[in-house]
Amino acid sequence: MMEPSELRSRLTGVIAFPVTPFNDDLSLNVEGLRRNIAEMVQYPLAAIVVGGGTGEIYSLSMEEHCKVVETVVQEVGGKVPVIAGVGFGVQIAVELAKQSSDVGADGILCLPPYYPSAPFEGMLKYYQAIGDSTSLALIIYNRDWAGFSAGEVNQLADAIPTLTAWKEGQADVRRYQMIMERVGDRLHWIGGAGDDMVRPYYALGIRVYTSSIASIAPRLSLQLHERASMLDNASLERLMSNYVLPLYGLRARRKGYEVSVMKTAMEVLGKPAGPVRPPLPDVRPAEHKEISILMERYKPVL
C-alpha cells in the first residue's frame, strides 16, 4: 500500500484518465481494458485514474467498479500508481473507496456527491467520511457545481489528514491561484480541467495535469507536459493548434461528448472502447467522419 507522501512524490507529469471499454451490448469489456492499460503503461506516466469521469464512473455498478480497479491494478503491476475514482453518495463512496483499497489502489479521487449545490458543512462531512474510510491518499476533484473558496480548501486540508492533492476541474485559473496562495504546499496541485488547459496551469507553477488524450496518444500528452514545463510557448502552440484544440472543439459540441468523442477516436485508431452508456450520447455520423479525419492528422504523435 502506497503512503500518501509517496503518491504525492510521484505526481509530476501526466495523469492518464482511461475510458472504460464496453461491448456493443454495453457489458464491461475487461479484456479491452487490459489491452488499453498494457499499451498505456509503456509510457512514463505519473499515475492512472480508474473510474473517473472519462471512465464513466456514474454508469458502473459497485461490482463493475471493483472489477475495473482490480483489472487495472493487475495490468499495471506496480509500474505506476493507480488511483480509483469514487462518488455518488457518502455511503457508496465509502464502500467504493474501501473495495478499491482492498484490491490494491494507491489513492482515491473523490468526485462530488450526486446532490447538487450542497452547503460547505455537508461537503466537509462527505469528504471527511471518505478520507476516514481508508489510509490511502485522498485527492479532491472540484468540478461542475462543487466549487470552493480558498478558505474552504484550507479548512478541508485542516480536517482531513489524508488529503494530499487537489484536482482543479473548472478551468477557473483565477480562483485556483487564490487557493494555491492561501494553502501553499500543504496540498499538491493538479491541473485537472483537460489537456487544453496545460498552458495556464503550468504558468501557475503546476507540473502535473490530467489527460484524457493519453487514451489515444500518450506521446502527445507527455509532449504537452514537456513543452509546458519548459515554457516553450511556440512548440506548445503548435501542438495545441494542430491536435488538442480541434479535438476539444469536437468534445465541446454536446454534453457528454467529452467521453463519446474520445471513445470514437479510440475505435477509429483500433483501440477497444465501444459505445458510451446512457445518458451519454454516442457521436453522430457526420462527427464520426470528422473524428476519423482528425485521427489521420494525429499520426505523427501516436
pLDDT higher than 90, residue 275 = yes
What is the number of residues in the chain? 302
The pTM of this model reads 0.97
pLDDT-derived band at 145, boundaries 50, 70, 90: very high
Cα 211 from chain centre: 6
Give the mean pLDDT of the chain: 97
* Distance set, CA 37 to CA 4, 47, 98, 221, 272 (Å): 23, 12, 23, 15, 11
pLDDT at 279: 96
| pLDDT tens string 160-180 | 999 999 999 999 999 999 999
**For residues 8-21, average pLDDT:** 98
pLDDT-derived band at 246, boundaries 50, 70, 90: very high
pLDDT at 1: 78
Question: Cα separation of 238 and 241, whole Å?
Answer: 5
pLDDT at 116: 92
Domains of the chain: 4-217 (3.20.20.70)
pLDDT at 172: 97
Burial profile 167-190: b = 16 or more Cβ within 10 angstroms, e = fewer: bbbbbebebbeebbeebeeebbbb
pLDDT at 278: 97
% residues pLDDT > 70 (the chain): 100
